[in-house]
Amino acid sequence: MMKRLIILFVASNLLAAGCKQTCFMKYSDFELQPGDLLLRDSDCGPLCDAIERVTTGFEGMNLSHVGIVAKDADGNIVVIEAASSGVRVAELQSFLSRSYDAQGKPKVIVGRLKKTYNQLIPAALKEAFNLRGKPYDKVFAVDNDAYYCSELIYEIFKRANNNNPIFTLQPMTFKYPDTGQTLAAWEEYFSELGVSIPEGQPGINPGGISRSQALTIIYKYGNPSKNNLAGDKKL
């Protein structure tokens, strides 16, 4: 009996490991709705770390990316996001499978707009689909017809609400909160672009969106890390 239990235990662990990329959708019966925001603790290297270092998310979570849930023409759940390749429509599984916590679950939380704003969702999603193919906003400017992830969310709901924003822009910072020194990752990033660091310019970030009064965090697929010390400033 003990040998059989050991075999079953090993087999279940191997199955879980194999399912890490494909089976996480079965962790719960939670159902997404169009208009839900997926906020992710991304593991993309120094730049994601730099984003998380100068922003604060819901309950102190490190959140460096956000996308919005929609349905495609076939009724499939997809995620519209602004990524390095530009504004695009991603498969849900692709979005969720980019970073995992220690238990192998996606480091993604779900924010849902409060009922006051529900009527804006269809128009906001229409705007998001219309922006497909727009370039990624490498310089984080809010007036250049290019979009970074949280700027996309800000803009589509602003347009849906007769040009009145429901999320709030804040002065951006790219500095260590404890020393006031600009992070080396940001100095290198903007130097390669050949532009000045937009310190103090208006912007928005996934952490700020996650703490917005317009939103309620209703679900966690996994557990984003929590080692943030900064205020709500950037991206």
Residue 195 lies in a domain: yes
Residue 119 lies in a domain: yes
Residue 98 lies in a domain: yes
Q: Is the pLDDT confidence value at 8 over 90?
A: no
Q: Is the pLDDT confidence value at 182 over 80?
A: yes
Residue 99 lies in a domain: yes
Residue 235 lies in a domain: no
**23, 25, 100, 191, 221 from 104: Cα distances, Å:** 10, 12, 5, 36, 10
User: Residue 56: its pLDDT value, please?
Assistant: 81
CATH number at residue 146: 3.90.1720.10
Rounded CA separation 212/207 (Å) = 9
Residue 168 lies in a domain: yes
Rounded CA separation 177/190 (Å) = 19
User: Residue 45: its pLDDT value, please?
Assistant: 66
Short-list 133, 138, 148, CA closest to 65: 148
Q: Is the pLDDT confidence value at 24 over 90?
A: no
User: Residue 225: its pLDDT value, please?
Assistant: 92
Query: Where residue 48 falls among pLDDT bands split at 50, 70, 90?
Result: confident
Short-list 156, 169, 138, 163, CA closest to 233: 169
pLDDT digits (tens, 9 = 90+) for 93-135: 999 999 999 999 999 999 999 999 999 999 999 999 999 999 9
Q: Is the pLDDT confidence value at 71 over 90?
A: yes
Residue 60 lies in a domain: yes
Residue 72 lies in a domain: yes
Q: How many domains does the chain have?
A: 1
Domain that holds residue 122: 29-220
Using CA atoms in the order 92, 94, 99, 103, what is the torsion angle rounded to 10 degrees? Answer: 70
Short-list 162, 159, 176, 165, CA closest to 202: 165
pLDDT digits (tens, 9 = 90+) for 191-234: 999 999 999 999 999 999 999 999 999 999 999 998 644 433 34
Short-list 147, 143, 203, 196, CA closest to 171: 203
Reading the block at residue 211, the tokens are 């703490």
Q: Are 229 and 32 in contact (CB under 8 A)?
A: no
User: Residue 20: its pLDDT value, please?
Assistant: 46
